[in-house]
Structure 1
Amino acid sequence: MYYSEELVEEVRSRNDIVDVISGYVRLQRKGSSYFGLCPFHSEKSASFSVSREKQMYYCFGCGAGGNVFTFLMEYEHYTFPEALRVLAERAGVQLPEQEMNEEMRREQSLRSRILELNKMAAKYFYYQLRQEGGAHAMRYLKDRQLSDETIHHFGLGYANKYSDDLYRYLKGKNIPDELLAQSGLMQVDEKRGMYDKFWNRVIFPIMDVNGRVIGFGGRVMGDGKPKYLNSPETVVFDKSRNLYGLNFARTARKKQLLVCEGYMDVISLHQAGFINSVASLGTALTSQHASLIRRYTDEVILTYDSDEAGVRAALRAIPLLAEAGVTARVLNMRPYKDPDEFIKALGAEEFQKRIDDAQNSFLFETDILQQSYDMSDPSGKTAFYEAVAKKLVGFEQELERENYLEAVARRYGVSADSLRKMVNSIALKGMNFSRTEPVRSQTARQDKEPGILKSQKLLLTWLIEYPSLYEGARRFITPDDFTGEPYRTVAELLFEQYEAGEKSPARIINHFTDPEEQSKAAALFHSTLAVESEAEREKAFKETLQNIFLSSLERRRKELSPTDMAGLQKLITEQKRVREIAAANFSFQA
């Protein structure tokens, strides 16, 4: 952490979570909590809960959760220091810079200086496009039917034909060579020294979700190679973790994102009104991209080119999106090659119709798979059905598998019963599937949570909801009895708080710096169990306590040396305490 725990806690405590989140989500009070539609996934009924007492939020639909810092980090894509600074400013808390150590100070300084340098370069490219030397670049953009407003909106520019032009400009601003070398704006070799990375190219500034220029893309004017060139990775630019246009698309609040192949596709779509369009940056879609997309939507329309390369890109993207929990559909642009060409020919209204009719990704995969088989030959047709059956086996949920099986049967004119028998036969044989055709569910797979972890989560929730339970529980268990992370760490922090006479689950969340870890920790305070009476609740609590106690004894028994008779005898003695749990009285007072 850059700042002391006491200062972080002061900032958190002076920013009421209900007040902060109300600026983003419409909340309605229900009992002691506030509910609204979750901003992290699409839903029709409110499952997003915000607790003023706990100073935490939790979505019972998608599992997103945390404290006020987590919310800003997830919603605004801030780093923790950025979220801290925003909330400190909101609360009028002064953050001392000296809290950073020297290494942190250097890293933050380098990031800030490169971001400022990128901003200077973006302005310079923007200026050059509007000069006489940039006339042919401007003509290229106009020939692509881009309006002045669109060109301005995306900050498009031009790197002129001299390979040292930007270098001389920045040196005139007293920028040291060392910083220029780290910025990604320059190339360095022994013969030529330092020279511009981009020259004689239309420039596309690449921005992060907060609108900061983190890199550039350049389209060559003329026949030079490569046609498109991107900034190298720097301390502020990672092409596998950023998407072009996401800074605009994230504000669209549409139910899906349109994922394209290139800059011009995104720009053309935005100009036509489809501002929920993004593109990967000169690379195929990655698992990091899929995870980034999942923060904003759970549905994607793949609008890749209709050529063979576009089909391959879609086939690669579908399983990555599925693993991240994102449903994909594939847009058919034929007879046109890409979105830009389609919209120019048929217009935005027809493109929207194609979006509405986009094909389910599984059926798209099977259609492409069918092209590898001779459907006029009986053996070829059988082989195709077998290949599809292998893919159907991959659906873990029986209802989901059945729905897709019936859809496939209708689509390819095969008996659903015959296909079902083939699927069952393959499943029973446990056939090995080809690595080239990975079998995945269309929805994100979730490992079944072990019973002991459920017990631990339920106990932590109860201890937060009913502080009076702590004195009774601590007689039988300690944080060492909790297994795995973040269970044990959360238990340690909670027990420490109660021993100090306080209770602040939101402060516990501060211990974790990664938003995903914060959500996992928040989930430990939001477990539910349906009980109809006080007696049932006490019985469930005792059974939960017994489960954790006995599981801990069993774990310790396995760790004992076979010759440690004293240790074994101690465990046998402790096991008798299970009866004490059953006989104990526990108070459920909030």
Structure 2
Amino acid sequence: MPWYSEEQIEEVRSRSDIVSVIGRYVRLKRTGSGYTGLCPFHNEKTPSFYVNPARQMYKCFGCGVGGNVLTFVMEYENLTFPEAMEMLAEQAGIDLPKQEMTAQQKQQEGIRLTLLEINKKAARYYFALLKSPRGKVGYDYLTGRGLTDETILHFGLGFAGQGGGELYQYLKKEGYSDQILKETGLFKMDERGVYDKFWNRVMFPIMDVNNRVIGFGGRVMGDAKPKYLNSPETKIFDKSRNLFGLNYAKRGKRNNMILCEGYMDVIALHQAGFTNAVASLGTAFTEQQANLIRRYTDEVLLTYDSDGAGVKAAMRAIPMLRRAGITGKVIHMEPYKDPDEFIKNLGADEFEKRIEEAQNSFFFEIEVTKRNYSMSDPDQKTKFIHEIARKLLVFEDKIQRNNYLEAVAARYNIKTEDLQQLVVRYGNQMPSGYEEVMEERQQERLRKGRKKELREGISYSYRLLLSWLIEEPQLFRQISQWIKPEDFEEGLYRTVAKELYEQMEKEELEPARIIGHFTEVEEQNKVASMFQTSFGSEIQAEEKKKAITDLILKIKEHSLERQAGEVTDLNELQKLVQQKKMLQGAVKLHIS
């Protein structure tokens, strides 16, 4: 895996304007000195996603994600840090010579490659066991479900034996330590011993888009619970960011994808010639999976089970697809429950017809909503029409909204002008601008969250001080007299403080560059939050002066207390105590 120097990272970041890049994915609206839009990382109806062009940073005040342009591309496109670097460098016309990794980076990459290697061997072991006499129960189950040997081989299906420790013994003989085997998620380790996580199950290897085995799903033989069991998340497996069958579906000749609920549905469809089928990995469909699909197609056909749970899952997935810019359609499979049953009973040709007849996902939503109302009751019908009007507001494009409005009015025998008036009425009730929405949300968060923020104590004080330094760099000279980077606790806060102080000493304030020093998304979000903390716009000048004084006192006192707890020399301890006594009056005197 390539690695890049700080100079290369900074060149790519500085030459990739964050507004232009994010604007390709999110519809942004200019509001004051920044831009706002609906957050692409969580479900929301009013914008809480803010892009700051001056700082080259973004922040969602709803779900808390934040970072710079590299962070955004990694999150949205489901890319590693090097992949995001390469993508942005190519767009900016930058040549990126590859650098050597550090010893720590090589170690982490070595662990990742070893886990992939172990998973590959485990998949081969399961496959061999399936084809052996001891795997007959699993093989009979798969062939009984209509799968051919060719399909079993194509998907690498296997069987986990009934012994409970067979895979562990095999991998130990291959020379792997317990420490690395624990990282795979394939085993349970406790004081009683080590046991295979999967046993007496038909095994479904889960592959990433590059055909590497990153995890497993297992279907139990018999009535034991749980019926399906999946690998836990590991250094190589994140179930919310992968899809079963995508490694094959992305190469399909069709211009859309079929989204299923289960592994067997995907396999049955592929065997029948529908090689564009994928499924989520034992969890509900996620925003990240919608964004992943968007890399390969802009149309998805939903084939969720026709029972209540399936309808509910479809209703949850449709808005996610819409937000990702994907057109959704729903395939109706009645009288059968799922694609697997449908294909077995009616065949591929009939399923092709159902694809051609697939229902527009918005009309599907309306039909499901209609089930909650009695159309013979005037009051119920009125409520239903009002619900339609509210739902039409999901279409921001006026032409698209009017097209749907006319179609819905015709289908449900509603006067177009009446429905139009309702839509306008409900539209006018929506907040008109970002400032109003954000101010309302900020005030609500302040009311509900201030106690929580106070409980965070010193961490909140660190974040607030760092944010204020960025907002008002002129405070740096006064604050730096009292608070040094060493006054922050060791770890992320001290690292960030050092970087920020260095920038301010050179009068080269670029907080987005500091975020770029971290390659882990979780760390980038934490750093971004350090630069986006405030008391809100209601704070006045005198209050601000007092707040800054209190912050300095709190951070410095905490630092002195921490140092006092660490020193063993009595003279040094007395000096620290004396500093603390003098601190309060001195700070109040000098802060203006």
**TM-score interval, smaller chain:** 0.5 to 0.7
Measured against aligned partners, the alpha-carbon deviations of 1:353-412 in whole angstroms (never above 9, x if no partner) come to 111111111111110000001111011101100111111133222211111111111221
Matched, 1:148 2:136: no
CA distance in 2, matches of 1:74, 1:366: 29
Classify the secondary structure of the residue corresponding to 1:419. helix
1:493-512 to structure 2, matched below 5 A, reads none
Partner of 1:263: 263
- 1:155/1:205 contact within 8 Å kept: yes
Classify the secondary structure of the residue corresponding to 2:219. strand
1:408-419 to structure 2, matched below 5 A, reads 408-419=408-419
Classify the secondary structure of the residue corresponding to 2:278. strand
Partner of 1:164: 165
Measured after TM superposition, the shift of residue 3 of structure 1 is 3.9
Measured after TM superposition, the shift of residue 146 of structure 1 is 0.3
Measured against aligned partners, the alpha-carbon deviations of 1:284-321 in whole angstroms (never above 9, x if no partner) come to 11011011111111111111111111101101101111
Matched, 1:292 2:296: no
CA distance in 2, matches of 1:372, 1:116: 52
Measured against aligned partners, the alpha-carbon deviations of 1:298-351 in whole angstroms (never above 9, x if no partner) come to 111111111111101101101111111111111111111000111111111111
1:240-255 to structure 2, matched below 5 A, reads 240-255=240-255
Residues 1:280 and 1:75: Cα distance change in structure 2 (over 3 Å): closer
Long gaps (5+) in structure 1? 13-70, 85-92, 433-479, 490-509, 516-559, 561-590
CA distance in 1, matches of 2:6, 2:235: 29
- 1:76/1:210 contact within 8 Å kept: no
Measured after TM superposition, the shift of residue 418 of structure 1 is 1.9
- 1:80/1:513 contact within 8 Å kept: no
Partner of 1:183: 184
Partner of 1:135: 136
CA distance in 2, matches of 1:316, 1:134: 38
Partner of 2:362: 362
Residues 1:429 and 1:176: Cα distance change in structure 2 (over 3 Å): closer
- 1:239/1:281 contact within 8 Å kept: yes
Partner of 1:532: none
Residues 1:123 and 1:421: Cα distance change in structure 2 (over 3 Å): same
Residues 1:260 and 1:485: Cα distance change in structure 2 (over 3 Å): farther
TM-score by length of 2: 0.59
Partner of 1:80: 82
- 1:294/1:324 contact within 8 Å kept: yes
CA distance in 1, matches of 2:368, 2:510: 43
1:32-47 to structure 2, matched below 5 A, reads none
Partner of 1:100: 101
CA distance in 2, matches of 1:511, 1:252: 38
1:109-508 to structure 2, matched below 5 A, reads 109-190=110-191, 192-430=192-430
Classify the secondary structure of the residue corresponding to 1:350. helix
- 1:156/1:204 contact within 8 Å kept: yes
Classify the secondary structure of the residue corresponding to 2:281. coil
Residues 1:82 and 1:379: Cα distance change in structure 2 (over 3 Å): closer
Classify the secondary structure of the residue corresponding to 1:219. strand
Classify the secondary structure of the residue corresponding to 1:301. strand
CA distance in 2, matches of 1:251, 1:408: 36
- 2:76/2:288 contact within 8 Å kept: no
Measured after TM superposition, the shift of residue 76 of structure 1 is 12
Residues 1:330 and 1:514: Cα distance change in structure 2 (over 3 Å): farther
Measured against aligned partners, the alpha-carbon deviations of 1:525-562 in whole angstroms (never above 9, x if no partner) come to xxxxxxxxxxxxxxxxxxxxxxxxxxxxxxxxxxx9xx
Measured against aligned partners, the alpha-carbon deviations of 1:150-194 in whole angstroms (never above 9, x if no partner) come to 00000000001111111111112221111111111101222x321
Matched-pair identity in %? 53
Letter in 2 for 1:132: P
Partner of 2:43: none
- 1:77/1:210 contact within 8 Å kept: no
- 1:76/1:209 contact within 8 Å kept: no
Measured against aligned partners, the alpha-carbon deviations of 1:451-472 in whole angstroms (never above 9, x if no partner) come to xxxxxxxxxxxxxxxxxxxxxx
Classify the secondary structure of the residue corresponding to 1:325. coil
Residues 1:296 and 1:115: Cα distance change in structure 2 (over 3 Å): same
Provide runs of 4+ in structure 1 moved above 3 Å: 1-9, 73-79, 81-84, 93-96, 428-432, 482-486, 510-515
Classify the secondary structure of the residue corresponding to 1:304. coil
CA distance in 2, matches of 1:251, 1:291: 17
Measured after TM superposition, the shift of residue 5 of structure 1 is 5.2
- 1:188/1:195 contact within 8 Å kept: yes
CA distance in 2, matches of 1:341, 1:4: 51
TM-score by length of 1: 0.59
- 2:158/2:204 contact within 8 Å kept: yes
Measured after TM superposition, the shift of residue 75 of structure 1 is 10
Long gaps (5+) in structure 2? 13-72, 87-95, 433-505, 522-540, 542-592
CA distance in 1, matches of 2:240, 2:78: 19
CA distance in 1, matches of 2:282, 2:423: 39
- 2:219/2:227 contact within 8 Å kept: yes
Measured after TM superposition, the shift of residue 420 of structure 1 is 1.5
CA distance in 2, matches of 1:431, 1:82: 35
Measured after TM superposition, the shift of residue 511 of structure 1 is 11
Greater helix fraction, Structure 1 or Structure 2: 2
Classify the secondary structure of the residue corresponding to 1:202. strand
Letter in 1 for 2:346: L
CA distance in 2, matches of 1:423, 1:8: 50
CA distance in 2, matches of 1:248, 1:380: 47
Residues 1:412 and 1:431: Cα distance change in structure 2 (over 3 Å): farther
- 1:160/1:199 contact within 8 Å kept: yes
Classify the secondary structure of the residue corresponding to 1:119. helix
Classify the secondary structure of the residue corresponding to 2:170. helix
Letter in 1 for 2:342: F
Residues 1:137 and 1:407: Cα distance change in structure 2 (over 3 Å): same
Residues 1:210 and 1:327: Cα distance change in structure 2 (over 3 Å): same
- 1:2/1:81 contact within 8 Å kept: no
Measured after TM superposition, the shift of residue 4 of structure 1 is 5.3
Letter in 2 for 1:299: E
Classify the secondary structure of the residue corresponding to 2:399. helix
Classify the secondary structure of the residue corresponding to 2:202. strand
- 1:74/1:295 contact within 8 Å kept: no
Classify the secondary structure of the residue corresponding to 1:142. helix
Measured against aligned partners, the alpha-carbon deviations of 1:82-105 in whole angstroms (never above 9, x if no partner) come to 998xxxxxxxx9978xx2112211
CA distance in 2, matches of 1:280, 1:152: 21
CA distance in 2, matches of 1:279, 1:258: 8
Residues 1:76 and 1:247: Cα distance change in structure 2 (over 3 Å): farther
Classify the secondary structure of the residue corresponding to 1:229. strand
Measured against aligned partners, the alpha-carbon deviations of 1:505-539 in whole angstroms (never above 9, x if no partner) come to xxxxx999999xxxxxxxxxxxxxxxxxxxxxxxx
- 2:203/2:219 contact within 8 Å kept: yes
Residues 1:325 and 1:8: Cα distance change in structure 2 (over 3 Å): same
CA distance in 2, matches of 1:75, 1:372: 38
Letter in 2 for 1:264: M
Classify the secondary structure of the residue corresponding to 1:365. helix
